[in-house]
Every structure is written in structure tokens, then in C-alpha cells.
Amino acid sequence: MLVQICVTALTTALLVASACYTESPPEQRWWAAGNVAVAGGMTLSQVAGLPLLLHAIVSYGVIAFGLGLVLRGLRVYCNESLSWLTIAILTLIALLVAAYYTVLAPSLRARLCFTGFYFGLINWAGALMLARHRAWRVSGIAIAGFTLLGLALCWRGAHLLLRGEPADGSNSLVIALSALVVPLAQICIAFGLILMVMWRYAERLRRLSTLDALTGALNRAGLEIQGKRVGLRALRGGRSLAVIMIDVDYFKVINDSYGHPVGDEVLRHLARLLRVELRPHDLLARFGGEEFVLVLDGVDREAALKVAERLRARIEYEVAELEKLSVRYTASMGVVCSDQHSYDLIRLISAGDAAMYEAKRAGRNRVVAG
């Protein structure tokens, strides 16, 4: 038990240290707070010199409260919530049952059996929450830790219930093995939770490096990375690959007349309209300034021209609004296809750009095929 308390204290210190910075996510702070409570409760339960109320009753309530905070952090990580009422109920159950087997029907064996099963089930609930999230590659270590910890606690509770061992479990191989498994599971949980946060930050950095912050479309770096994949996929599948280059007409006039916030809203509005036409395997990128790119997998030249014309008409019909201002705008488009320009995305974009500028020279608000 001393080893368990020490390992709990060390893993708690690790979680607290990882959560002690300004930008730490809320779930990390919940996990740290929960582990602090669990460590405090375990310490209270092992100090026999304390009053019975603290030693045998309050300690289990504190542990249950800490596990409830950990569950709340897991729900926050999964973009869900766990109410304070639920945490209060988890804590109250632990307090009432511990009080019953301490005051009304004193039984150390019964109290240890109950807490083993109860805390084991709470840990399994944590494993189930993460498993439902279906991010096994990221949360697999934490899931394994919660599952293993729940198994060790329930195993210990079942052993004390069924075997004629002393109530404190002394001289029991099962209790000794569970005392070894519990710290290992706690280490898995701590490192698994930190790994989950690291993966989320890595994904956020990846998105920041490949997405345009204003419109949410791919930026040029993201287009280069994902465009190659789409091109190779279309080439291997023997499908056509179409590129539509789109540029807002008189965008500088919009900025000069209404201000840059309105210009930004026009770009966001255009990105939303373009995204409506996207299928799951198509790409939308902001190529620069007011210029956008659509990469359409499995679309030939004639079909791409129809898509572009439909978009052009819709853009002309729609209105971008910001506060009390309403702005109408149009766009010029150039359409090219791999049937004429191969599957090299750079060549397709260059040809599409040339077609788009031909549309501008021809009077704007039109579609030209490269």
C-alpha cells in the first residue's frame, strides 16, 4: 500500500506538472485535480491514528470524488459533460456504504470488498468512455490502464469476499499481485492521459500548418500535401482529375469601399458556398489573397464546367452580410482537367490560373475552360 501511495503521488505530480501552464486544456486540469483527491483519500485511509470518521469513511468519499473528477475530465476530452450532481452521487454512495460498514454493521472485509468493486466499476466506466470515443491509436494506453486498474480492484474485492483470508488481506498472493498491478495501471493511465493531450496538440498544430485561419480551407502547404494524394488516387483508379480556379472580381474595390473586415467576410462567405459543392474526397484550398482552388476527383472536363457554372451563378445570386452591410460580388473561374493536362497538380493549377485570367480579360463573372 505504501508503494501504491507513492506511485499515486508521483503520477499525480506528473499530471499536475503537465497541467500547470496557462494554455493547458480543461480536461488535463480535471485529471490533475482528480488524482490529487485520490492520493489524499488513499493517504487518509492508511493513517490508522486518525479519527475513525476520517480514516474509514471520509477517505473513501474523497477517493470517489477524485475518480468523479477524472471521469469529468474524460467526458470533457470526448466533447461531452459530466454534471456535478453525478459526481456528488458517486461520492455520496462511497460515504454511505463506508459509514454503514464502519458504524452500523462494522466489517473491514465488507468495506474493502465494496470499495474494490465500486472503484473498479468507476475505472471501467472511464475505459468505456474512451473506448466509445473510438480513438484507439491515441487513447489505447489509457484504456488499458483503466481496464487493468478496474480488474485489479474487482479481483481483490472478489478474493476478500470469497476466500477465508484475513480481512486486511495479509499473507495473500492475490492481494500481493493486485498491489503490483495497481501501480502499473496507474502509470499507464497517467502516461496515457498525457499522450492523449499530446496527440490533440499535435493534431491542432497540423491543422494550423495546413489550414487557412480565415476561411478554414486548406492553405497552399495543405493543398500540396493532400493534392498529391488525390492526384495519385485518381491516376491509379483511372479517373479524371479536375481543377477549378476561382478569383473574386474587384476584390480590391470591396476592401477599399467597405473595409477589410467586409472583405474578410466575403472570403469566408465564398468558402462556405464552395464547400457546399465538395464531396468527402474533394479539396478546397485558398491559394492566395482572394483566389481559391477546387480539386475534384473523378470529374471530367464537361462535368467540371457544369459545377463551375453552377457555382458562378450561385455566387452572383448570394449576398455576403456583416453587421448591417450587404455586399454582392461575382467570381471568375478557370476549369482544367487531367485529360488535357496530365495529373501533375502544379501544371493543372497553372493552366487553371491562365484560364481564370482569360475569364477576367473576357469581362469577369464567367467560366473559361483551359
* Residues known to be catalytic: 290
Pairing of strands 331-337, 241-248: antiparallel
Neighbouring CB atoms inside 10 A of 263's CB total 23
Place of cell 491509379: 236
- E strands along the chain, which residues? 241-248, 283-288, 291-297, 320-322, 325-327, 331-337, 367-369
Q: Are 324 and 303 in contact (CB under 8 A)?
A: no
Beta bridge partners of 244: 294, 335
User: C-alpha grid cell for residue 144?
Assistant: 488499458
How many residues are listed for the chain in this entry?
370
Q: Are 246 and 258 in contact (CB under 8 A)?
A: no
191 in helix, strand or coil? helix
Contacts of 291 (CB under 8 A, 6+ apart): 245, 246, 247, 356
183 in helix, strand or coil? helix
Q: Are 343 and 234 in contact (CB under 8 A)?
A: yes
Place of cell 501552464: 21
Strand arrangement of the beta sheet that strand 331-337 belongs to: 283-288, 291-297, 241-248, 331-337, 367-369
